[in-house]
Amino acid sequence: MMGEAQAVSEVADKPAEVSLLQALWFWLKLGFISFGGPAGQISLMHQELVERRRWISERRFLHALNYCMLLPGPEAQQLATYIGWLLHRSWGGVIAGALFVLPSLFILIGLSWVYIAFGDVPLVAGIFYGIKPAVTAIVVQAAHRIGSRALKNNWLWGIAAASFVAIFALNLPFPLIVLGAAVLGFLGGRLAPQHFAVGGGHAAAGKSYGPALIDDDTPAPAHARFRWSRLLALLLLGAALWLLPMGLLFALYGWDGTLTQMAWFFTKAALLTFGGAYAVLPYVYQGAVSHYGWLSPTQMIDGLALGETTPGPLIMVVAFVAFVGAYLQPVFGGDSAFVSGAVAASLVTWFTFLPSFLFILIGGPLVESTHNELKFTAPLTAITAAVVGVILNLALFFAYHVLWPQGFAGVFDWPSALLAVAAGVALFGFKRGVIEVLLACAAAGLLVHLLR
């Protein structure tokens, strides 16, 4: 009798079905409040979807997250896409993933225009003067955070050190470093598997918040079952969605056109973001700053600061890169700088996130066919270790341009150094949030700038 009463109670407590419109409003709100980088965004989704609304159980949430952690691309956005797809088929996934990105795109287009148009105004210049040292400390913190999770033995420390030397001293391209790390991981996983079995960053669920709409034992819905016909249709659709705009850009501007090269470059970037946005930033600055010259090192640092202070995935810094590159060299003529920048930002957002949607819609049915915990493979473990080395190099790159603005032959910028140290102490010592640190450093930088 008690068992029957408990079952009845659980059925009664189960959340009501969620309509597509209800879900749309939730994903839209999430797109405007998803600050704090991947960790903060995933935590926010867990609080809302698992604990408060109970749209999905803890175990199913982490199962989806473990799959997203294996993929290149922004894991928080992919997780939103996955849950939206599970709830409301492909359109639900597209809506969830798109609304996670679009608010950030529109906000960044506006902020990028303010930055370019009014960057020399003392108020704006002072704010960015204070933000730059904070960004340097934030990148160091990212290297420490990923390293503390990934570098579990001397083998992985060795891969991280080798990747740092490869990019810092030998200036090898980031894709080659990723490929080398993957090969080392593949070999190491067979010759010394115990050193490469670090596993994913999320353990199995051990807590229940009550009956969920998609519970542990809820069977996969019909649309989440694997079918070869659906796989083929999605592959063809994905190819068309990439080839059509790329072909149009090629026809209008040629292969060497700015927009064509941006589309191609950021397609490659989208497939190399193992380990999150900080992992791909070295590749972006190698290409956007050193190779193409779309923006300066200082502008790249400022773009990362804007990305940190806006909602949405940090990889949205690509929209800033594209906006600045196309604004300063207008692709539609001298009188259309803003339109050129806005179109470029929108285009690279399309090419950066298209693979993320395809990974979820194609791979989701395969993931739903088993609910056991997924693990990182040995090559991905090695790639994550290599990422630590390239992020550390990125921190040194930023520090050089912040502390010696005119190069080593110029004057050492003591106020920037003090702000960087203060930001590091706040992040590491007092565990303050990124937004808090950026705001405090912006205020201090404005004061220093106005007193000079």
- Does residue 92 contact residue 360 with C-beta atoms inside 8 Å? no
Contacts of 35 by beta carbon, 8 Å cutoff, 6+ apart: 41, 310, 311, 435
pLDDT at residue 7, rounded to an integer: 46
Tens digit of each residue's pLDDT (9 = 90 or more) over 159-213: 999 999 998 888 887 778 878 988 898 888 888 887 776 544 444 445 567 888 8
Nearest to 384 by CA among 147, 215, 47, 172: 147
d(CA 381, CA 12): 44
* pLDDT at residue 37, as a whole number: 64
Q: What are 362-417's pLDDT values in tens digits? A: 988 887 775 543 344 577 678 778 878 877 887 887 788 889 988 788 899 999 99
pLDDT at 179: 83
Residue 438 confidence class, pLDDT cut points 50, 70, 90 = confident
pLDDT at 248: 96
- Residue 279 tokens, joined: 């992992």
Is the pLDDT reported for residue 279 higher than 60?
yes
pTM score, two decimals? 0.75
**What is the model's pLDDT at position 27?**
95
Q: Look at residue 399 in the predicted model and tell me its pLDDT.
A: 87
| Distinct helix (H) and strand (E) counts, the chain | 17, 0
Six-digit token string for 175 = 């894709």
Token representation of residue 54 = 């109970």
One-letter-per-residue 3-state SS of 291-341: HCCCCCHHHHHHHHHHHHHCCCCHHHHHHHHHHHHHHHCCCCCHHHHHHHH
pLDDT tens, 199-234?
444 444 455 678 888 887 888 788 888 889 999 999
Looking at per-residue confidence, does 38 or 140 come out higher?
Answer: 140
Give CA 91 to chain center in angstroms.
Answer: 22
| Tens-place pLDDT, residues 140-154 | 887 887 788 778 889
CB within 8 A of 94, min separation 6: which ones? 81, 84, 357
**Residue 56 — φ and ψ, nearest 5°?**
-145, 145
CB contact burial 99-111 (16+ within 10 A = b; e otherwise): bbbbbbbbbbbeb
The pLDDT score that the predictor gives to residue 376 is 45
- What helix, strand, coil percent values describe the chain, rounded to 5? 75, 0, 25
Q: Does residue 264 register a pLDDT over 90? A: yes
Closest C-alpha to 388, from 140, 208, 199:
140
Higher pLDDT pick, 130 / 276: 130
pLDDT for 198 equals 52
Per-residue pLDDT at 82 exceeds 60: yes
Amino acid (one-letter) located at 139: V
* Contact present, 358 and 240 (Cβ < 8 Å): no
* Average per-residue pLDDT for the chain: 84
Measured CA to CA, the distance from residue 351 to residue 155 in angstroms comes to 35
Spell out the alpha helix ranges (H) of 122-227. 122-150, 154-168, 174-191
Query: Is a pLDDT exceeding 70 seen at residue 108?
Result: yes
